[in-house]
Amino acid sequence: MDKDVPIWQPSVERIAQANVTAFAARIAAKHAVTLADYTALYRWSIEHPEAFWREVWGYGDLVGDAGTRTLVDAGKMPGARWFPDARLNFAENLLARCSARGADDALVFWGEDKVKRRVSNAELIAAVSQVAQGLREAGVKPGDRVAGYLPNMPETIIALLATASLGAIWSSASPDFGVQGVLDRFGQIEPKVLFTVDGYWYNGKPQPILERVATIVASLPTVVRVIVAPYLGAPDASYGDLSADPRTVAWNDFIAPFAAEPIDFEPLPFDHPLCIMYSSGTTGVPKCIVHGAGGTLLQHVKEHRLQSDLKPGDRLFFFTTCGWMMWNWLASGLASGATLLLYDGSPFVHQGRILWELADRERMTHLGTSAKYIDAIRKIALVPRKDYALFRWRPRASTTSINASRARCACRRSRAALTSSPASRSVVRRGPSGAVSCNAADWG
């Protein structure tokens, strides 16, 4: 099959309704340019980077003051600074669209087939307010580090947002990491607070981690609070050796003294640190990678709105743990008014059907996964389009390398419901990062 032959093309109507179409029209009108297709828009963005990113700020309707300058010392690398006069808060931007959506789902969580929860937008705002107050009382201030040794669950999103609202710096690791793997990461950043859980579920079996947590905390002398969220046990369950540590408190006890009130978001510079991620550690101790709040927000809004066509009310999913950068990408979907679908555990529960059950029952519109998972469902001959409606499903995204024939196979097996961005032709191509996608935005 010709690699440049589209396996799917959008209708004229879907192209007209796409976010990227509206964005291009906005630029064309404001800057008196002709943008006939995606390639023209891409070229304009490279030739006019300052104008492009200011337009992303405006189109994204970001909360904050962009300032008058867009880029200084553009020729320096490192040294160039974007929006040097701007002030904003990452958490405020993620929660800005939640107020109007009140009782609608903000978060939907499946812990395999063991735990299912829903958190409304109003409940999310209230929980972030309470946790932020608890962190402030614990002495957390801008620049302090807050760590999460947590699964992909609602408390993790809440802890991130509460941390960012104060201007503190978030860092997370998945609870399947061993003691040394966690210390190799968190030991470098000297966190003031650690959020964790009593354990997690994997492949139908409970995986308690509190003994591991006790060992980790003993080697983190900067930690003044350890907040334990319930997942395996009841909210008031015993925490073993951790119970004797005066720094330890249950999640519900941590927030109990605080009534939900308007969140006091700290206005911060554009390049204020938001989170610390890590290199893989394959060549030694993992290296810290600091991401700024403004750059992360702008980039994620661009990728969500323009390249994923994410709209208010869409239901966004990415199969990820909190030790992978795609978890941070998923969390930012709140800034576009999306509901986040969270899954923790093995993707092969119910003979590999659990994620498709989530997609079907929770009306998933956007699915993200890895090449390894795509290859795995190919090997077990799972054909989702035969058994699931997936009638709202639009973009599908995959990270890392996957060869073109397997990508086409994955697209065909879900083809009845698959589209890429509504303004895209679905063509399998290798991107600049080495990833293969079924999305190659091209209006022609």
Q: Are residues 272 and 126 in the same domain?
A: yes
Q: Are residues 133 and 123 in the same domain?
A: yes
Helix 49-59 to helix 19-31 angle, to the nearest 10 degrees? 120
> Is 278 inside a domain boundary?
yes
Last residue in a domain, options 316, 345, 374? 345
Q: Are residues 409 and 270 in the same domain?
A: no
Last residue in a domain, options 345, 380, 408? 345
Q: Are residues 405 and 295 in the same domain?
A: no
Q: Decide: 250 and 236 in contact? Cβ < 8 Å.
A: yes
Q: Are residues 263 and 309 in the same domain?
A: yes
Q: Decide: 294 and 83 in contact? Cβ < 8 Å.
A: yes
Cα 422 to the center of its chain, rounded Å: 21
Q: Are residues 360 and 442 in the same domain?
A: yes
Q: Are residues 261 and 166 in the same domain?
A: yes
Residue by residue, pLDDT tens for the chain (444 residues) are 566 777 777 889 988 999 999 999 999 999 999 999 999 999 999 999 999 999 999 999 999 999 999 999 999 988 999 999 999 999 999 999 998 888 999 999 999 999 999 999 999 999 999 999 999 999 999 999 999 999 999 999 999 999 999 999 999 999 999 999 999 999 999 999 999 999 999 999 999 999 999 999 999 999 999 999 999 986 656 677 787 889 999 999 999 999 999 999 999 999 999 999 999 888 889 999 999 999 999 999 999 999 999 999 999 999 999 999 999 999 999 999 999 999 999 999 998 899 999 999 999 999 998 888 888 888 887 777 777 777 666 666 666 554 555 555 555 555 433 333 323 322 222 222 222 233 323 232
Q: Are residues 353 and 333 in the same domain?
A: no
Tell me the Cα Rg of the chain: 22
> Is 433 inside a domain boundary?
yes
Q: What is the CATH number of the domain that holds 235?
A: 3.40.50.12780
Neighbours of 219 (CB within 10 A): 13
Domain count, the chain: 2
Q: Are residues 287 and 401 in the same domain?
A: no
Last residue in a domain, options 329, 345, 361? 345
Q: Are residues 399 and 426 in the same domain?
A: yes
**Which stretches of 18-167 are DSSP H helices?**
19-31, 38-47, 49-59, 90-95, 121-137, 154-166
> Is 398 inside a domain boundary?
yes
Q: Are residues 155 and 206 in the same domain?
A: yes
Q: Are residues 294 and 386 in the same domain?
A: no
Structure tokens at 8: 């799917």
- Give me the domain span that covers residue 425: 1-11+347-444
